[in-house]
């Protein structure tokens, strides 16, 4: 199963962790990552609002995403991420929003931030 397929099928919630230039950590609830190309498991994107997480990824492009599946079995994924690009095209953001409902309003959905996936690990363990 590809990473794109996993996130299309899995139910649960995610947390994006970012840091500013000084190393101050921030965590925020985020929707599942979106894969524009289902055959590319190395690039995903998130819709971001003009908030601290967005500000942080431009001060320090490294981030971490933790996804916890529903069901209480401690299943999920941990992604190591690095920012590679950003779009502000409102129509492109609306197109991505149609695929899922991020936990921010359409009015707040200002940025489509692309991340290179540098590593994938299970929720528990170090594989």
Rounded to the nearest 10 degrees, how much is the dihedral formed by the CA atoms of 47, 49, 51, 53? 0
- Check residue 105 and give its pLDDT: 67
- Locate the DSSP E strands across the chain: 12-19, 25-30, 43-48, 62-69, 76-87, 111-122
- Check residue 104 and give its pLDDT: 65
- Check residue 4 and give its pLDDT: 93
Q: 113: exposed, middle or buried (C-beta count within 10 Å: 0-12, 13-18, 19+)?
A: buried
What confidence tens digit (pLDDT) does each residue in 93-122 have?
Answer: 888 877 766 666 677 778 999 999 999 999
pLDDT over 70 for what percent of the chain?
93
3-state secondary structure of 73: coil
Q: Report angle CA 7, 13, 15 to the nearest 5 degrees.
A: 105
Average pLDDT over every residue of 3-23? 94
What confidence tens digit (pLDDT) does each residue in 81-100 have?
Answer: 999 999 999 888 888 877 76
What confidence tens digit (pLDDT) does each residue in 41-79 have?
Answer: 999 999 999 899 999 999 999 999 999 999 878 899 999
Which domains are seen in the chain, by residue range? 3-122 (2.30.110.10)
Q: Which residue in 70, 79, 71 sits closest to 35, CA to CA?
A: 79
């Amino acid at each position: 199963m590809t990473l794109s397929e996993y996130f299309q099928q899995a139910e649960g919630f995610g947390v994006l962790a970012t840091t500013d230039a000084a190393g101050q950590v921030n965590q925020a609830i985020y929707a599942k990552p979106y894969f524009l190309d289902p055959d590319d498991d190395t690039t995903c994107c998130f819709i971001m609002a003009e908030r601290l997480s967005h500000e942080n990824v431009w001060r320090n492009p490294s981030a971490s995403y933790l996804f916890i599946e529903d069901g209480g079995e401690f299943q999920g994924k941990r992604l190591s991420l690095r920012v590679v690009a950003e779009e502000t095209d409102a129509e492109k953001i609306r197109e991505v929003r149609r695929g899922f409902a991020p936990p921010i309003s359409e009015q707040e959905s200002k940025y489509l931030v692309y991340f290179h996936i540098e590593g994938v690990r299970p929720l528990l363990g170090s594989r």
